[in-house]
Amino acid sequence: MKTKNAKELEKDRIRESRKFFIRKMNDLFRSEYRYSHRFNKDHIQEDGKANIHVDLTKVEEGPFSIYSYGRRIDPEIYNYIDQEAFFLRADVPLIVTFDDGGRYSPELKQKIRDAVIRHYALEYEDKRMDYDRNNKIGLFALILGVTVLIIYIVLAIIFNNRNLNTVFIEFLLIMSWMLIWSSLDHFIFIGGDLRKDSFNAGQLALMEVRFTSDSKENNN
């Protein structure tokens, strides 16, 4: 029986190591192990809404950007909310609960609430306009491509009957297919990403903004 040398044994070890690593990656994606499912389970409440908690207790003078004259929330807070919402299902209603430590007045809380809602409403409008603009470009390319294709078919019949040069109409055929494929690219690939971005932005624009001190005020 032929024994393996050190080089062959090392190759076998590397091969088995790779197989083990691939199995571990596949296990991570199995439904019972997927962290995205655990993440959703940890955030989604009994009422079906996902709650994102934001700690403002360490913020001394409100969560506003120092450059905004108290009109815009610090971008780091939005980044945190976006990162938390990214892994949640897009069809789940959101609640953002700010822990203000009971230090914020009703007027300041309303100001924060308005700033957050305005920010995400503007984000949604921007994403939605990009999506609608992309659809219009795709529709225009499709109509133009079909029109050029019809012109090609008509000219091809005329040119073939008269035995004329068909280089020009072959160019029309290529152009028509380029336009049609461009429209498909806009509708399926680019449009798919923009639709997802628009849906996620809409989820954030419709979220409810709460404060931990709200319940205490209602009890009083």
Indicate if the pLDDT at residue 1 is higher than 50: no
Give the CA distances from residue 77 to residues 31, 82, 84, 104, 127, in Å, rounded to whole numbers and listed in that order: 31, 9, 11, 17, 20
Residue 36 is assigned to a structural domain of this protein: no
Is 78 found in the same domain as 10?
A: no
Is 210 found in the same domain as 137?
A: yes
Query: Residue 69: which domain range?
Result: 44-219
Indicate if the pLDDT at residue 33 is higher than 70: no
Is 152 found in the same domain as 186?
A: yes
Q: Which residues of 73-82 are buried (b: 16+ CB within 10 A; e: fewer)?
A: bbeebbeebb
- Provide the pLDDT for residue 3: 60
Is 126 found in the same domain as 95?
A: yes
Q: What is the mean pLDDT of residues 120-138?
A: 96
Residue 55 is assigned to a structural domain of this protein: yes
Is 180 found in the same domain as 105?
A: yes
Is 74 found in the same domain as 17?
A: no
Residue 39 is assigned to a structural domain of this protein: no
- pLDDT band at 89; cut points 50, 70, 90: confident
